[in-house]
Structure 1
Amino acid sequence: MKPTVKKVTLDKGKRIIAISDIHGNLELFKRLLGEVNYTKEDILILVGDLIEKGENSLETLRYIIELSNNQQVYVATGNCDTLWEDIKYEIDDENLLRYMLFRKNSILNEMCDKLSIEVNEKSDINFIKNQLIENFTMELSYLEQLPHIIETEDYIFAHAGITTEDLEKNEVNEIVKRDAFMDEGLAFSKYVVVGHWPTANYGKDRACCNPIINKEQKIISIDGGNGIRSEGQLNALIIDGDNITFHCVDNLLTGEIIKPQQANKNTIQIPWSDNLIDIIEEGEEFSLCRHISSNHNLLIKNDKIFKAKDVIRCYDSTDYFVEAKKGDVVSIVEKTDKITLVKKNGVIGWVENDKISC
């Protein structure tokens, strides 16, 4: 299947606002648009994963459809936006029902709730699919017609990445779903703007949720981890002529630094994609662990550690302590007995509890 490429000519006098991975968080999406002062004079480009994982996928989709009908909005599809395929075609009905039972925050469950259809292990998935097709034709048709790639004179927008600038020769499954795109070593003649892979996952010694602009490869990665990581944020890339900036929002509470703190050295951040560990010494709240691929020892909170088959893994973890000055405002991710996990200017790390008021 060839990818669908939408080529558009944009007014160079207008701002381009690019957002990816909204994941059904309508409140955060609206707040972000408000904080960047989005108006009809701007061009809005949404780089996939409009829905799933958040609590308001259906209303988020309807809001985006409304924007698309009235303003200059271009939307590319992401892997989470392809559920229409499972509804329209008999791909794997058993797995579709299993998915609905597993992912409670799904547009499919929201649609069923609107129709007062109970979803359980004994549900007739064919009946559910027929009801959704009949009652949500507009929403499913909108998702179906979304292009895989949006190309402008200066930029290419694709949810997860591309392999070649001969755009129709790209593989659809690799456009909407591929991990760590920037690590593939590809380079392009015009900037390729992608989401899908949280930018925090690229960090080795520390994680940062802000967009990454790689000038050598001409890749801009903008997924702030909204709906994926507990520290996540929703990013807006703002292209105004040659000036590229960003703005972000999250749902975290804030705290204030009351004593300065120096950053530590020789740190690590462990992403989901490389999370094999060994436990060296168990503790009451944290355990001393060894990250297998790096051979780095660090303390990991016990509720971040889990067993998978015959190995031990952890959720996103770090031993980085942020550099902070008195008066700095930070987002509070999680508070423990002695230290608090925070996000400062997008960077994730710990602060000692006596140095923060929250």
Structure 2
Amino acid sequence: MERVIAIGDIHGGLKALIQVLNKVELKDEDHLIFVGDYVDGWSESAQVIQFLIDLSKTINCIFIKGNHDVWAEEWLRSGEVNPTWYMHGGKETMESYEGFLEDEKSKHLHFFENMKMYHIDSENRLFLHAGFTSMHGVEKEVFQQTLYFDRTLWEMALTMDKRLEKHSELYPKRLKLYHEIYIGHTPTIHFNSDVPIQAMNVWNIDTGAAFTGKISAMDIDTKAFWQSDDLPILYPNEKGRNK
């Protein structure tokens, strides 16, 4: 049976990514949707990108672009180092590319350039990295960076009265546009949870892999989920973004 599995932020944690995919027990007919931030944090960002390129040759994959991916893409294209990026995991990403040939870097740049800003499936489920602000949906978002930086969508969903029905006039128009919304970007460990959190019809599957948390993968039909070990366990001699 075909499964659609959403996978949260990875942040250079190749060991954790392989671990969680082994727990998923992938089948050829599975579809994987990654919600972004493949790089920056742990020491294997370049290796994560190479792994995903190879994985996409055998498994149907959709790759959403996150804010860290935008920074890494800009560096691969121009060689310019964004100071904010450098301090938030970029240094580790640059170091992970030591030993990679220019041809390999070029293929990785192509991979970043072809990531999607969002994905809407046949059942009107939206997948994106962060959020959106347009009352008319992601297609009408004026500023593309909102899609990979916005936190207001998640904050709004968290603070809503859970008794509100979707047909209520008080139910936010943004949330009414889609059957479900899957995001990353804002770690659930900041809300005292190391598992995916549902708030109204929004699912946050970033369970803090950049810091002390895990990588999570969720079957979006059954809501069953799998997780890696905490990243500091898998990279005991590193700090990730816990600086």
TM-score normalised by the chain length of structure 1: 0.54
Match runs of 1:264-303 below 5 Å: none
> Are residues 1:108 and 2:94 paired?
yes
* Counterpart Cα distance in 1 of 2:61 and 2:22: 16
Q: Go from structure 1 to structure 2 and tell me whether the alpha carbon gap of 1:110 and 1:40 turns closer, same or farther (over 3 Å shift).
A: same
> Contact between 1:211 and 1:224, CA under 8 Å: does it hold in 2?
yes
Letter of the 1:109 partner, please give it.
Answer: E
> Are residues 1:156 and 2:130 paired?
no
> Contact between 1:180 and 1:197, CA under 8 Å: does it hold in 2?
no
Q: Go from structure 1 to structure 2 and tell me whether the alpha carbon gap of 1:224 and 1:163 turns closer, same or farther (over 3 Å shift).
A: same
TM-align CA RMSD = 2.5
* Counterpart Cα distance in 1 of 2:205 and 2:67: 16
3-state SS, counterpart of residue 69 of structure 1: coil
More helix by share: 2
> Contact between 2:10 and 2:39, CA under 8 Å: does it hold in 1?
yes
Deviation at 1:107, TM superposition (A): 2.7
Letter of the 2:118 partner, please give it.
Answer: I
* Counterpart Cα distance in 2 of 1:162 and 1:104: 25
* Counterpart Cα distance in 2 of 1:101 and 1:213: 31
Aligned length in residues: 212
Match runs of 1:239-318 below 5 Å: 239-240=220-221, 243-251=222-230
> Are residues 1:59 and 2:59 paired?
no
3-state SS, counterpart of residue 116 of structure 2: coil
> Are residues 1:137 and 2:106 paired?
yes
> Are residues 1:212 and 2:193 paired?
no
Q: Go from structure 1 to structure 2 and tell me whether the alpha carbon gap of 1:176 and 1:18 turns closer, same or farther (over 3 Å shift).
A: same
Deviation at 1:167, TM superposition (A): 2.3
> Contact between 1:55 and 1:105, CA under 8 Å: does it hold in 2?
no
* Counterpart Cα distance in 2 of 1:102 and 1:173: 17
3-state SS, counterpart of residue 219 of structure 2: strand
Deviation at 1:106, TM superposition (A): 3.0
Q: Which aligned runs of 4 or more in structure 1 are off by greater than 4 angstroms?
A: 97-105
- For structure 1, the 5+ residue unaligned runs are 1-12, 116-130, 254-314, 316-358
Relative contact order (alpha carbons < 8 A, sep ≥ 6): 1 or 2 greater? 2
Deviation at 1:23, TM superposition (A): 0.8
Q: Go from structure 1 to structure 2 and tell me whether the alpha carbon gap of 1:180 and 1:199 turns closer, same or farther (over 3 Å shift).
A: farther
3-state SS, counterpart of residue 33 of structure 1: helix
Deviation at 1:147, TM superposition (A): 0.9
Q: Percent identity?
A: 24
TM-score normalised by the chain length of structure 2: 0.77
Partner of 1:181: 153
* Counterpart Cα distance in 2 of 1:152 and 1:49: 21
> Contact between 2:130 and 2:183, CA under 8 Å: does it hold in 1?
yes
Letter of the 1:153 partner, please give it.
Answer: S
Partner of 1:172: 144
Partner of 1:224: 207
Letter of the 1:161 partner, please give it.
Answer: G
* Counterpart Cα distance in 2 of 1:172 and 1:102: 21
Q: Go from structure 1 to structure 2 and tell me whether the alpha carbon gap of 1:152 and 1:99 turns closer, same or farther (over 3 Å shift).
A: closer
* Counterpart Cα distance in 2 of 1:183 and 1:97: 27
**Deviation digits for residues 16-62 of structure 1 (CA, Å, limit 9, x no counterpart):** 11112111111110110111212212111111001111111111101
> Are residues 1:234 and 2:204 paired?
no
* Counterpart Cα distance in 2 of 1:43 and 1:103: 29
> Contact between 1:157 and 1:193, CA under 8 Å: does it hold in 2?
yes
2:9 corresponds, among 21, 35, 38, to 21
1:199 corresponds, among 182, 188, 197, to 188
> Contact between 2:132 and 2:150, CA under 8 Å: does it hold in 1?
no
Q: Go from structure 1 to structure 2 and tell me whether the alpha carbon gap of 1:36 and 1:98 turns closer, same or farther (over 3 Å shift).
A: closer
* Counterpart Cα distance in 1 of 2:104 and 2:117: 25
> Contact between 1:36 and 1:247, CA under 8 Å: does it hold in 2?
yes
3-state SS, counterpart of residue 63 of structure 1: helix
> Are residues 1:41 and 2:29 paired?
yes
Match runs of 1:66-145 below 5 Å: 66-82=54-70, 83-89=72-78, 93=80, 95-96=81-82, 99-100=85-86, 103=89, 106-111=92-97, 113-114=98-99, 136-145=105-114
* Counterpart Cα distance in 2 of 1:57 and 1:30: 13
* Counterpart Cα distance in 2 of 1:98 and 1:208: 27
Deviation at 1:193, TM superposition (A): 0.2
3-state SS, counterpart of residue 208 of structure 1: coil
Q: Go from structure 1 to structure 2 and tell me whether the alpha carbon gap of 1:30 and 1:105 turns closer, same or farther (over 3 Å shift).
A: farther
> Contact between 2:131 and 2:146, CA under 8 Å: does it hold in 1?
yes
**Larger Rg computed on CA atoms:** 1
